Structure 1
Amino acid sequence: MDTSIVGVGVGISDRFRTVVEEKAQRVEHLAPRAQRLDVKVTHRAYHNGRMEDETVELTLTGKGPLVRAEAVDGDKFTALDLAVDKLAEQLRRAKEKRLDARDKPRGATFKKENGSLEGIDVQPAPVDVLEAVATGTVPVQPESTEEADYTPVVIRTKQFDAEWMTVEEAVDRMELVGHDFFLFIDARSDHPSVVYRRKGWDYGVISLTTAAPPAADIAS
């Protein structure tokens, strides 16, 4: 498995490279089909340099979907340990789900008459969650290369190409990237949708339906 290390605002020492290679052996043991491990280390300083942290991002590529993990700490070696632990846990959980799927095929079906899903432990989103998504009251601040004023809340934006997949595939992908939600296009309905983690192995799904605006609105 190839390993790539990139530093943003921080130098990469030989000692850190040696530790990464040691950690890569552990990852390769858990994912023998993996082909490449990308490690990105980002140094950030906040509030005139009074607060600093190191972010380590891991991206594992191979035959199948990407697997990502990220951790933040004041020391990059500690952040690396935390990120590798997260990545290992995601790989273990994905393996358990594959084994469980062999014993208990999911075979989910979509009921057009009532819009429900059967054969998978996914529940419709609560009304308050749908309202929060629809109103979009949380301000989004795009990433900037310049240091902004310190704030305890940092909201980053990312853009990805749309992917068509089933709800089951979206749940699996969410587990692999280690997020609490995953945005996709439902292959059954062609609607933008998002799956999210509730408790344990319980998940939820939100789908957006689109309709053409009234003719009067278009004319105005």
Structure 2
Amino acid sequence: MKLVIQGKNIEITDSLREYVTSKIEKAVSHYQSLTTEVDVHLSVAKNPRVNSKQTAEVTIYVNGSIVRAEEGSESLYASIDLVADKISRQLRKYKEKRQAQSQAPVKTVEVLSDQPVASDLLQDRSPILPSQVLRTKYFAMPPMTTQEALEQLELVDHDFYMFLNSETGEINVIYERNHGGYGVIQPRKGNGHTNGKNVKTAHYEQNGNGYSDQSVPVAEVISHA
């Protein structure tokens, strides 16, 4: 397992590196076969008088998916403890879902050929960025269903997740709604149509058995967000 530790506004001392390594290795010890790389990012606010928060962020690459967790407190070591516990729970959740899927009855579906993902999305071009950039990320976006995107959202510890919808071939965003459940934002073309089809947004509400799927218009979902 590859472990990368980076710091912002802080020096990664030997004692700090050893502490992070011991905590993260313990957190992923039962998932070593799934884990390919672990990135740890530690940051401290530039002005402690304004913001005393010290943050630990962990990103783990597992079998083509990403599991992420972030925690912050007034103590960097406390933040590391918190994020280690959180990433362990996220990994357990990921493993349980994969085991449940592997044990589920096999359905007869159309088999699609795997499309290779370009290793260099920029090719020979240089990225042109705005003059003010907080943070920019480039990542592969393999096609997935809305349900698979929902599972990814629960693993990355964000309130939204952008994905390539395998059913429509369009970029969608799934997000947590303020009043519970999830919504999906889809592009609209013309008078409420996209590619000749009515645009609808999946609204997911959690129930005892997981999530129920109810299709509602885009405008309705956004207005309730």
- AA paired with 1:54? Q
- Report the secondary structure of 1:188's partner residue: coil
Residue 165 of structure 1 is matched in structure 2 by 144
Residue 96 of structure 2 is matched in structure 1 by 96
Q: Residue by residue, what CA displacement relative to the aligned partner does 1:40-95 show, whole Å, maximum 9, x if unpaired?
A: 1111134x834322111112124321222111111111111111122111111112
Length-normalised TM-score, structure 1 = 0.63
Separation in structure 1 between the aligned mates of residue 10 and residue 163 of structure 2, nearest angstrom: 34
Separation in structure 1 between the aligned mates of residue 137 and residue 25 of structure 2, nearest angstrom: 31
Residue 196 of structure 1 is matched in structure 2 by 175
Structure 1: segments with no counterpart, 5+ residues: 110-141, 145-156, 213-220
Residue 35 of structure 1 is matched in structure 2 by 36
- Report the secondary structure of 1:208's partner residue: coil
Higher RCO (CA-CA < 8 Å; seq separation 6+): 1
Q: What number of residue pairs does the alignment pair up?
A: 165
Identity, % of aligned positions? 30
Q: 2:9 aligned with 1:9, yes or no?
A: yes
Q: Residue by residue, what CA displacement relative to the aligned partner does 1:196-218 show, whole Å, maximum 9, x if unpaired?
A: 3469x964433223349xxxxxx
- The CA RMSD measured in Å over matched residues stands at 3.1
- AA paired with 1:207? Q
- AA paired with 1:35? T
Residue 85 of structure 1 is matched in structure 2 by 85
Separation in structure 1 between the aligned mates of residue 32 and residue 55 of structure 2, nearest angstrom: 26
Q: 2:156 aligned with 1:177, yes or no?
A: yes
Q: 2:24 aligned with 1:21, yes or no?
A: no
Separation in structure 1 between the aligned mates of residue 37 and residue 140 of structure 2, nearest angstrom: 24
- Report the secondary structure of 1:175's partner residue: helix
Q: 2:165 aligned with 1:186, yes or no?
A: yes
Give the 3 Å change call, closer, same or farther, for CA 182–93 of structure 1 in structure 2: same
Length-normalised TM-score, structure 2 = 0.61
Q: Residue by residue, what CA displacement relative to the aligned partner does 1:151-198 show, whole Å, maximum 9, x if unpaired?
A: xxxxxx644457232212212222221223211121111222122346
